[in-house]
Amino acid sequence: MSDRREFVLPLSVLRGSDVACVGGKNASLGEMIGTLEEAGINVPRGFATTAAAYWHFIESNSLQPRIAQAIAILDKKLGNLADVGRSIRDLVLEAPLPPDLKDAIYQAYRDMSADGASSVAVRSSATAEDLPEASFAGQLETYLNVKGEQALFEACKKCFASLFTDRAIAYRETHGFDHMSVALSVGVQTMVRSDLACSGVMFSIDTETGFPRSVLITGAWGLGETVVQGMVVPDELQVFKPLLDEPSLVPIIEKSLGAKRRKMVYGAKGATVLTDTTKDERSSFVLTDAEALTLARWAVLIEQHYGRPMDMEWAKDGETGSFYIVQARPETVQSRREAGALKTFKLKEKGNRLVSGLAVGDAIGTGKVCHLDSPEEIERFKPGAVLVTKITDPDWVPIMKRASAIVTDHGGRTSHAAIVSRELGLPAIVGANGATEKLSDGQDVTVSCAEGDEGQVYDGIADIDVTEIDIAKIPSTRTRAMLNIANPSAAFRWWRLPADGVGLARMEFIISNHIKVHPMALIRFDDITDQAARAEIERLTAGYDTKTEYFVDKLSRGIARIAAAYYPDPVVVRMSDFKTNEYAKLLGGAAFEPKEENPMIGWRGASRYYHPGYRDGFGLECRAIARAREEIGLSNIIMMIPFCRTPEEADRVIEEMGKHGLRRGRSGLRVYVMAEIPSNVVVAEAFAQRFDGFSIGSNDLTQLVLGIDRDSERLSGLFNERHPAVKDTIARLLASSKKTGSHTGICGQAPSDHPEFARFLVEHGIDSISVTPDSFLRVKAQIALAEAALSQKTTGR
């Protein structure tokens, strides 16, 4: 009888170099047990069968020639893939385990538990898996809550057979792996009782953009297969790595509550079952902030140990409260993305929005909808179609490879559909509730993932602009080139651009798109009589201790995400600048807003912040800024006050800020004022005594200098930011600011629309120019040209 140690090895003796022996997954588990447990990272113990065990099983049953014969008839276009895969799997499942291998597995299982009745997880680990250049993610089988040796033996054979699932065969064909050279190791680990708690997936990199300074954590109640397979929309958290070493900070820059409608738990006779979650479970986050930070710190340690971005699965034991890492593999998509090039997609025009969900990637795809209920319908799918289905699992991969885009009813960012779509470079929208009902077979659609975290499906084939930016060719400049960012979801998308920070982060976008409720409706909820609005506000604020905490939490994290993308460079956050008619459109807003004849020059900006009708709402905005700066830790945030008419009004706003602990100079806080009213220029020196800098709002400044309502269609031909009167006003402000030593910037639309306008600004000594991301490259080039021209003029060359 063979020595059982050649067939089975404890995970604790394995290291990362043992991939050829036990596959990437098991080698990684052994590596973490042996090297990272000292750092406090828990990994469940167990054992792994070896490649030798797999080949022993194959040879003992004379399977190799029969498998090779089946592979030999595989159609190059994979047309007979299903038949070939099924025939090989049947061969494996019908073959018995050799007695010596069976004994080795049995003894190792007994060693895990004196009575041999341990509940274990049985996972497949291919010897070509989890290499930095090959993922194999989700292709091989996992079996949970396996009890007793007979169930274990059967699970091991099923793992062997999963080396020949349709998706695994197709993957090896595509990536050039020899089917008969890849072995399979079975990992057997003590089950973590996450059926009584929660589990999920995390990445040490942002999965959509490759932003390297964020940890993405997803989680749901029960066993982790619901998250991995995309059965549920999980909770999602983003943690900012650079601030994790500060114990006084809580650098969670995003928290999104998932629906989590189902969970996987232990079955009465072993294995697992799906059950509905309770109302409390659906309305509660699975992790506390402290637990999320612990996991994020583990992710950083694991990434540092392996020297590359990592994809990890975690689980919480409901009996002990302890956390465990149950898998870790290299992240294989964003980490291989070309660092020196940035391709951007933009819709020139679009049809009606049909459905929306979580965006995967940042591309745009078009095609005809093909609605499939099962991967067995592959013959119906035409290459280049848009796959629309409820959910995908690894059996769908051959179809996904033919698609131009993918839309699923269910799933989160770490679901199977999301992971595979990233690897294939396909735009995908997951968790698009109702997509299978709302999108019709054969319908022309555009699937856009280029508009932030929320992906949209539009009716018809849209016209698309695709631009490639070579980052290495972007010149350096003295004048700071910054970005205008409204959407926190899109902030990470532009991290590769060499911007000097954010010159304008629009708070009102976060309020209208992420919060959706008028702040006074949360403060004075009892005054809301509209029953539909009340019900929607109750739904949105579920899970929060108070309705005002909902506003502060959402706003602070939205601001923090933008600030994190460019930390430690400055990020200028403009306090809310809705007009009354815009505020009234927010949930519950109509009850708190007057009707004005001309809202454009009415009760807006600074005039609201100290007024009894909005003072408390401004207090919530201030609390959000303070939390983002002081609790989350993004101290690079600069406040900016819009539409401040007089220095006396500035004093009243500054007094209100002070009531909430926001004092200029305290903890490095800087406060700017928008220069968008002629009075800001005429008495610039008085404003400079109260603020650290000016940011020119060229749209409103043009409106008020020329006396033109910029919303008037009839006057649109007269609106000209480059008019001599407007340019002279800006030049006067820049001259005054030089005298007072104040910072000057511009965040209006003019430099984005007219890059030559940037030359005028540089010639007059502006400190920073902030533009939309899609115009950054050409404006930056104009800045460089203007600076070169000035240099030649100064030196006389």
β-pair partners for 238: 216, 254
Q: How far apart are CA 702 and CA 726, in angstroms?
A: 6
CB 60 within 8 A of CB 102: no
> Which of 698, 639, 626 is CA-nearest to residue 670?
639
What's the sign of the alpha-carbon dihedral 484, 485, 490, 494? positive
> Which of 577, 590, 510 is CA-nearest to residue 550?
510
Angle formed at CA 10 by CA 8 and CA 13, multiple of 5 degrees: 120
Helix (H, G, I), strand (E, B), or coil: what is residue 341?
strand
CB 586 within 8 A of CB 516: yes
Helix (H, G, I), strand (E, B), or coil: what is residue 288?
coil
Helix (H, G, I), strand (E, B), or coil: what is residue 605?
coil
Q: How far apart are CA 369 and CA 136, in angstroms?
A: 27
Q: In what order do the strands lie in the sheet with 310-316?
A: 252-256, 235-240, 214-221, 198-203, 310-316, 323-330
Which residues, 6+ apart, have CB-to-CB distance to 697 below 8 Å? Answer: 642, 674, 675, 676, 747, 748
Catalytically annotated residue among 156, 159, 747, 754: 747
CA 578 vs. chain centroid, Å, equals: 28
67: number of Cβ within 10 Å = 19
321: number of Cβ within 10 Å = 9
CA 69 vs. chain centroid, Å, equals: 45
User: Does residue 747 have an active-site annotation?
Assistant: yes
Q: How far apart are CA 37 and CA 29, in angstroms?
A: 11
Please write down the HEC assignment for all residues of 407-459: EECCCCCCCHHHHHHHHHCCCEEECCCCHHHHCCCCCEEEEECCCCCEEEEEE
Instruction: Sort residue 367 into left (φ over 0), alpha (ψ -120 to 50) or beta.
Output: left
- Over the range 239-269, which residues count as b (16 or more CB within 10 Å of their CB) and which as e? bbbebbeeeebbbbbbbbbbbbbbbbbbeee
User: Kind and range of the H or E element at 629?
Assistant: none
CB 649 within 8 A of CB 606: yes
Read off the tokens for 2.
């063979």
Q: How far apart are CA 263 and CA 318, in angstroms?
A: 14
140: number of Cβ within 10 Å = 24
CB 11 within 8 A of CB 77: no
474: number of Cβ within 10 Å = 18
> Which of 473, 491, 462, 648 is CA-nearest to residue 558?
491
CA atoms within 13 A on the CB side of 762: 25
Catalytically annotated residue among 416, 518, 743, 754: 416
Q: How far apart are CA 256 and CA 432, in angstroms?
A: 16
DSSP 598: -
DSSP 277: P
Q: How far apart are CA 385 and CA 350, in angstroms?
A: 19
Q: How far apart are CA 4 and CA 100, in angstroms?
A: 7
**Residues that are catalytic:** 416, 747
